Chains A and B, each alone.
Chain A
């Protein structure tokens, strides 16, 4: 085993030193370990070290059935648990060629968009928190709590849903669902202005994020960035538009693409995405088709031999599920191409030559979820 190349404190260069940010650090949102070489306040090099919550989801899945593997995916990006489940379910449905009932599709989109809202709300709160504004965190949780309550009523859990299953969804909507979602959207359309008042329009916040952490378009493509991070750099990469699934093609919404590529643009993209999510929910909430909420799928799923790839748009970007099946009831190889893993790659490029304070702002707007990186 050759010793891996690492940053070594340069004894002969005065003023440069290595500092560890994470795994136990308030701004890493989990246990990400960054070794940072500093010159005073300036960052010279960043080296990410992962694996503090590597649970071997891909390896475990090789010994679990398809149904059982899906519940593990809720624990990857726990803020987009619905999307992760949906990706696996779509893949199974593609392999087995199951037609999902319309009602199930509508429920899926509603849930997924609510999840996206909740995820972006939490991101907004923690982005503020990372920059030292504590209050936004609580304002964000006020709205997120309502969404989680809606989830709780229908899905039975608040975070790790396991609600979207192959063939449809696990159980039917709660009778109060429509009413509560409508109230929520109505409320949130008012409350989103508070977001502008507290952070978007705030001069300190703007100065902290504007012209910080530039991710040029070419670099973003080369790094395989996706989601709001890539869209802020001017790349159209919304899977919902490019490879529509579950009836996104019938819905009217626009992909938010901005091209400045700094932290503030990433922030704006997410804020606008929240509005788009609300727009999607508005279209669907009154038109949930009647019918079955689930197609019949066998208890033990065996995918035909072959390779499958399914991608969905989670709150953080493109989640790809790659499955090699040998016809057994367990996947031969399953690979999750998670959005955060690729977005993390951008960190060491864009945070270079900025300050420690900027690093926090950049990490906040990259919106990294560490379990999703480690899997």
Chain B
């Protein structure tokens, strides 16, 4: 008799436990407001990407098309993957000193792991991470970017 009781009570409790789960899913079925899906390309305008999001490395240029990179290559050395290639040219300044000037700041987005150690390493704070995220291109070569704008030059710190 006791076994029989246990038999039926197990059936009852099983149904009860299943019913609680079904009630929950029905609750969400009947409350479409709980839906979290974002319709991505359509909601581009309202999409919230935090400022700190590490999307890609950019070289900061100001309005005079000047950047802060002194071609010291600290970032290149810090980068764990060899994402950054910096080429410099040696130029003679007016007072006869030889000075390294940035020629090309090559950044391979395809190899970047967004660890932001180059940003940490930069003594001039010349580079930063931007929160852009739609990086897909048709050719892998397009991911290799030259970050210094054409015609840009080093920020002259003496002015300040």
Contacts and interface: CB of A to CB of B under 8 A. Distances in A.
Consider the complex of A and B and state whether they touch directly, i.e. have CB atoms less than 8 Å apart: yes
Interface in B19-51: 20-21, 23-25, 36, 50
A202 B24 contact: no
Interface in B45-75: 50, 52-54, 74
A203 B17 contact: yes
Interface of A: 64-65, 67-68, 71-72, 135, 142, 145, 149, 152-157, 160, 162, 165, 170-171, 174, 194, 197-198, 201-204, 206, 299
A135 B25 CA distance: 8
A171 B51 CA distance: 13
Interface of B: 13-14, 17-18, 20-21, 23-25, 36, 50, 52-54, 74, 78, 80, 113-117, 120-121, 129
A160 B114 CA distance: 9
B20 A203 contact: no
B65 to A, nearest CB: 27
Given A71-B80, A160-B113, A162-B115, A155 B17 contact: no
Contacts of B13: 203
Contacts of B116: 156, 162, 170
Given A153-B50, A174-B50, A68 B78 contact: yes
B78 A156 contact: no
B129 A197 contact: no
Contacts of A299: 74, 78, 121
Contacts of A174: 50, 52
Contacts, number: 68
Nearest to A153: B50
Contacts of A149: 50
B129 A156 contact: yes
Contacts of B121: 299
B20 A156 contact: no
Q: Report whether over half of chain A's contact residues are helix, strand or loop; otherwise say mixed.
A: helix
Contact of B117 (A68, A154, A157, A171): A68
Given A156-B129, A197-B23, A203-B14, 14 more contacts: A68-B80, A71-B115, A149-B50, A152-B53, A153-B52, A155-B52, A157-B54, A197-B21, A198-B21, A201-B17, A201-B21, A203-B18, A204-B18, A206-B17
8 contacts: A67-B78, A71-B113, A71-B117, A157-B54, A165-B120, A194-B24, A203-B13, A299-B74
A178 to B, nearest CB: 15
B138 to A, nearest CB: 25
B131 to A, nearest CB: 8
Contacts of A156: 50, 52-54, 114, 116, 129
B116 to A, nearest CB: 7
Contacts of B21: 197-198, 201-202
Contact of B80 (A72, A142, A198, A203): A72
A202 B21 CA distance: 7
* Residue of A174, A203, A206 contacting most chain B CB atoms (<10 Å): A203
Given A67-B117, A156-B53, A156-B54, A201 B36 contact: no
Contact of A152 (B17, B50, B78, B117): B50
